[in-house]
Amino acid sequence: MATGSMSEVSAAALLAAIVGSSDDGIVSKDLNGLVTSRNPAAEELFGYAAEEMIGRPISLLAAPGRADEMPAILERIRRGEKVDHYETVRRRKDGRLVDISLTVSPIRDGAGRIVGASKIARDITWRKRGELALRASEQRFRDLANSVPDIVWTAAPDGTITFANDRVGRVLRSHAGTERPGMAGAGAPPGRPCALP
């Protein structure tokens, strides 16, 4: 029967357990950019086993056109800066690209000298795909609304115009004295309350 308590667990063992069970990929590297450790989630995220990553340059994960990011991040670490929630792209072992959010922090030795960096990488691929799909959907709606000969607009419950197609501006300009505040020009600026004639 286990009788131990949290107070009997060393700080190092506790930290190792936290890092090992994290869903985010955690990688440490020295100031030369060589990987010194990684947790299981990093293997799942990037596809490299421990023996394939440790001792190798972190640039192994660089996506095409982004190789300069890693030296720039290491330079900031050398200055003692933290890189927080930096969104970028990395390349997995199988060649697939993955969108990630990075937080990179300096690692200091007992004397306070910076000796490396810890990197926490979170997969944001599905969020990015969702954002792209939403933008594409909004663009399709705008294209459709601007292609019809009628006026099309949307409004919030308080009457604030959230969208007006190009036809709205043309109709208002063709009727002298019928323009309302916020409706002049080629459509209504979103966020302006107004009424249509």
Confidence of residue 50 (pLDDT cuts 50, 70, 90): confident
Q: Is the model's pLDDT at 183 over the cut of 50?
A: no
Identify the helix (H) or strand (E) that includes residue 29: strand 25-30
Average pLDDT over residues 50-69: 91
H helices of the chain, in order, are 11-21, 40-46, 50-53, 69-78, 125-147, 166-174
What pLDDT shows up at residue 8? Answer: 58
The CATH number given to 12-123 is: 3.30.450.20
Tokens 């309350």 sit on residue: 193
Alpha carbon distance 155, 192 (integer Å)? 10
Q: Considering only CA atoms, which of 28, 64, 25, 29 is closest in space to residue 47? A: 25
Select, from the ranges 44-48, 171-175, 182-186, the one with the highest average predicted confidence (pLDDT).
44-48
47 Rama sector, left if φ>0, alpha if ψ -120 to 50, beta otherwise: left
Q: What's the predicted TM-score (pTM) here? A: 0.62
Q: Please state, rounded to an integer, the average pLDDT across all residues of the chain.
A: 80
Average pLDDT over residues 40-53: 91
Alpha carbon distance 22, 34 (integer Å)? 22
In contact, 104 and 98? CB cutoff 8 Å: no
What pLDDT shows up at residue 101? Answer: 94
Domain boundaries, the chain: 12-123, 136-193
